Amino acid sequence: MKKAGLFFLIVILINSSFVYAQDLEEIEEIEGNDYSHLYGFSEYGGEYLIADNVKESDEESLVIDEGGSLKYREKNQDEYRIFDNLKEDSKFKFKDGNLIEADFVVGDEEEETEYKLGNYKYKLPEGSHIILKDNKLVIEIPEDAEISRPEQLDEDKENVLDEVVFVGEEITINIDDEKYVFESVKLDDIQSRLYFDNKLGEFYVKKGVVDRIEIGTLAKADGEEFYDYDTYLLFDKSKSEAKELGKAFIVFYDEDKIAFGAPEGGESASLWFLPGHSRGVEISDNDFLLVQAGSDKMEQSSFVTIEKRAGRINLVSADGPFTVYTGQQFAEYVEGYLKAGTVQIASTGIHSRFANQGKDSINFQIRSRDEDGNAYTASYTDPKTGKTHTWKHDLDYYITDIGGFAKKTEEEAIYNRVSFYKLTQENREKFFDMYKQNSNKALSLITKPITEMNNVLRNYVISYESKVEFTDYGNKGSYKSALEDLKAHNNGRFDPYEDGPSGDLGHGTTHGINSYIRDKIAPKIPVRQEGAYTVLGGYNGFYLLNGKAVILKEPNINFNHIKKYIHNDLSGESFYMAANGDWKYQPLYIFDELTAYTNGAIVSNQLNRRESALLGESMAASLAVGAAVEHYDKNYWNSPDGEKFRNFLAYSTERSMDAHIKQQQRFYGIEEAGAKNKIKNLLYPSTQEFIKRTYGESWTRKVLGF
């Protein structure tokens, strides 16, 4: 090496017509010697390499001492590249007018210094160590330092580096004053690194932790790694921009949203959300969340967002394939259909460090669509028959602390509310009862603070009377007793057999009134043909006291359907036997009996007369009718007529149970719980489930006691 202090050169302008005043002014910024003739700059016409404080030099390289600097301009480039604020022994090597190697440390004269390397300008903090060799750039970042996104110099320039790597245990990336922390992790004695793709202009990682998301370190128990893909770190990219990248990616939006995805037919790295992460979803010490985008089994790209929403649970919105593990639950769409359920991560063969035993599930609403945002067609092939079933998947899946379940999108106003999951089990059931009665009232309530919700639901009493469509029958008036009421609505007379030993007062009279409503007031439609005679009917009517009647259309079932739901203990009762005979094609006949027994019991309780026999049995039979209608006549069940029937069934059960309890107390000394238990014992489990399913558990418990 030659000593620079003994080597004086005069700046020689070769082909001076290429040197302008502005060039001379820029050159004067560095007062040093011209080394361009040594490194080939002068061969293409008046280009310069100026350096000062040069410690050593030879035909290819310079070593610059602390405080020194250099400036050069590459062939066919208009702007100079300046390297200043250098620490001692900064090394630069040139070939044919190009910088091919460098090894230097940024000095402390500035907080950050700009350097042009390859096709980008890098702003680097003091203490950064830059190594350029074999067309690869390694930048070691000191502890607690920040970097920004490199700035592209010339989009058309071909001079790009093969690899750019940032090295450091913890590197803060500052993007428009928003900070993202990369944490290096050590696997198999290899420290993970942060990369910059100087073709695409984006940061990416192979492994590591970014913003408290561990990327690509998922491994099987035997140590084999999978989901090991480059993951690009994008900032505020749109969905289309991210997908056009053709790489696996994470998009960092604001504190409320994060996205990840994969290219068509590909997969993303595993993303393990660590405690302390807060973007899109809050992760506490006892939460477990592991996600992945894409599927190598589907020719679809994937774009998945996770969003925080004020007052609502987190939303996972997936266009294309995805997998979500949280707590003990999972949901995935990777083979053309959604799969969900409960899983133990350890049972999948994943390394024990990912085991989620005892970890909590995060409440998620998962909206899965195809890559165009449409509901996809799901398919399932029965392994036994080989038959493939397909259906349109238009449900949202919910992973919550009360389990996983699917619901239609229009019900999200309930299930995506944070407050809903804070309700007690009892108040949750009451809420659904309220929703069935008055959906607007319930949807308004669920937006209120949890204390207000609990107070309202604690005092909420369910009654179906307000939902029943009554028909006025005669004068409502004011009667001294139910007996006087019945007399007034039956032309002033009673059934002559009612007051004898075989009948209860009011029962037969109710039958007479019901008959009149059915025959004289209810509509008539042809129901069947018996020889040349057309039987008219199709509607039934029932009197419920106080001038109120109900007229219902008959469902399209008969007693052969109902008897499958009739408890064996009821099969010999007179009302059932009569219905199975003359009234076989009018299944609502059982309600004729129920209203007669109920009205009779009300009269009996008021006048302290004999028991209205078979009230409890007829109530149980009427509920069996409801279960049969739901199963065998879905068109009726889902129609306005079906809604009228359901409301009447509930109200008639309420009033009949009230009369039944009073009878049991008066005649047998049986309290309310025991009276209700008698009815429960007359209902098959399937009928009990029907009642809970239709009216909600809170109503069922309040009215029927189970």
89 shares its domain with 141: no
Cα-Cα-Cα-Cα dihedral sign, residues 518, 522, 527, 533: positive
Which pLDDT does position 344 carry in this prediction?
59
Predicted model pTM: 0.67
Smallest CA-to-CA distance from 513 within 477, 473, 464, 456 is with 473
Verify that 434 and 412 share a domain, yes or no: no
Please tell me which residue, 394 or 299, carries the higher pLDDT value: 299
Those residues with Cβ within 8 angstroms of residue 110's Cβ, 6 or more apart along the chain or in another chain: 85, 126
Question: Do residues 157 and 111 lie in contact, with contact meaning Cβ atoms separated by under 8 Å?
Answer: no
339 and 356 together in one domain:
yes
> Among residues of the chain, what percentage have pLDDT more than 70?
82
Mean pLDDT value across residues 423-440: 86
Confidence of residue 256 (pLDDT cuts 50, 70, 90): very high
Question: How many whole angstroms separate alpha carbon 103 and alpha carbon 125?
Answer: 16
- Shared domain for 479 and 522, answered yes or no, is yes
Q: How many CB atoms lie within 10 A of CB 240?
A: 8
Best CA proximity match to 72, nearest among 113, 102, 27, 130 = 27
| Domain-ending residue, one of 174, 199, 224 | 199
For residue 125, list its beta bridge partners.
Answer: 112
pLDDT band at 213 (very low <50, low <70, confident <90, very high): very high
Give the pLDDT score at 477: 72
Q: Three-state SS for 12?
A: coil
Residue 2 has pLDDT above 70, yes or no: no
Nearest to 99 by CA among 46, 44, 183, 159: 159
Q: β-pairing, 136-140 with 163-167?
A: parallel
Do 190 and 320 lie in one domain? The reply is no
Number of domains in the chain: 5
Tokens standing for residue 490: 């039956």
Q: Which of 199, 224, 253 is the last residue of a domain?
A: 199
Give yes or no for a contact between 30 and 54, defined as CB atoms under 8 angstroms apart. no
Q: What percent of the chain is helix, strand and coil (3-state, nearest 5)?
A: 30, 30, 40
DSSP category for residue 355:
-
Whether the predicted pLDDT of 233 surpasses 60: yes
Domain interval for residue 443: 423-458
Sequence-distant (≥ 6) Cβ neighbours of residue 590 within 8 angstroms: 562, 575, 576, 579, 618, 621, 622, 625
pLDDT of residue 110: 86
CA angle (66, 68, 71) in 5-degree steps = 145
Return the half-sphere exposure (C-beta side, CA atoms, 13 A cut-off) of residue 484: 9
Q: Is the pLDDT of residue 348 over 80?
A: no
Report d(CA 385, CA 364) in Å as an integer.
Answer: 35
Instruction: Please tell me the distance from the alpha carbon of residue 84 to that of residue 70, in angstroms, as a whole number.
Output: 7
For the ranges 273-287, 479-493, 661-675, the lowest mean pLDDT is seen at 479-493
pLDDT tens figures, 118-148: 999 999 999 999 999 999 999 999 998 999 9
Highest mean pLDDT (candidates 179-188, 404-413, 486-495, 545-554): 545-554
Pair 513, 661 in one domain: yes
Last residue of a domain, one of 71, 99, 127: 99
- Highest-scoring range by mean pLDDT, 73-87, 429-443, 508-522, 637-651: 637-651
User: Which residue bears the tokens 């309202």?
Assistant: 456
Tell me if 465 sits within 8 A of 591, measured CB to CB: no
Pick the more confident residue, 27 or 175.
175
Q: Of 399, 401, 319, which Cα lies nearest the Cα of 364?
A: 399
Count CB atoms within 10 A of the CB of residue 375. Answer: 14
Answer yes or no: is pLDDT of 64 > 50: yes
Three-class SS of residue 615? helix
Q: Do 599 and 505 contact (CB within 8 A), yes or no?
A: no
Stretch among 101-110, 557-566, 677-686 having the lowest mean pLDDT = 557-566
Q: Is the pLDDT of residue 525 over 70?
A: yes
* 350 within 8 A of 221, measured Cβ to Cβ: yes
The span from the first CA to the last CA of the chain, in angstroms, equals: 97
**Which whole-number Å values give the CA distances from 619 to 184, 513, 534, 585, in the listed order?**
70, 20, 32, 20
Mean pLDDT of the chain: 84
Q: Which pLDDT score is estimated for 350?
A: 56
pLDDT at position 664, please? 92
Measure CA 274 to chain center.
19
**Distance from C-alpha of 180 to C-alpha of 563, rounded to nearest angstrom:** 68
The partner residues of 312 in beta bridges, in order of sequence, read: 309, 417
**Cα–Cα distance measured from residue 233 to residue 10, given in angstroms and rounded to the nearest whole number:** 49
- Whether 542 and 405 share a structural domain: no
Q: 593 and 470, same structural domain?
A: yes
Are 153 and 251 within one domain? Answer: no
Do residues 85 and 110 both lie within one domain? no
Residues 478 and 590 in one domain: yes
**Together in a domain, 524 and 626:** yes
pLDDT at 15 exceeding the cut of 60: no
Residue holding tokens 């129920």? 594
Q: Residue 502 has what pLDDT?
A: 41
Local confidence band at 696 (pLDDT 50, 70, 90 cut-offs): confident
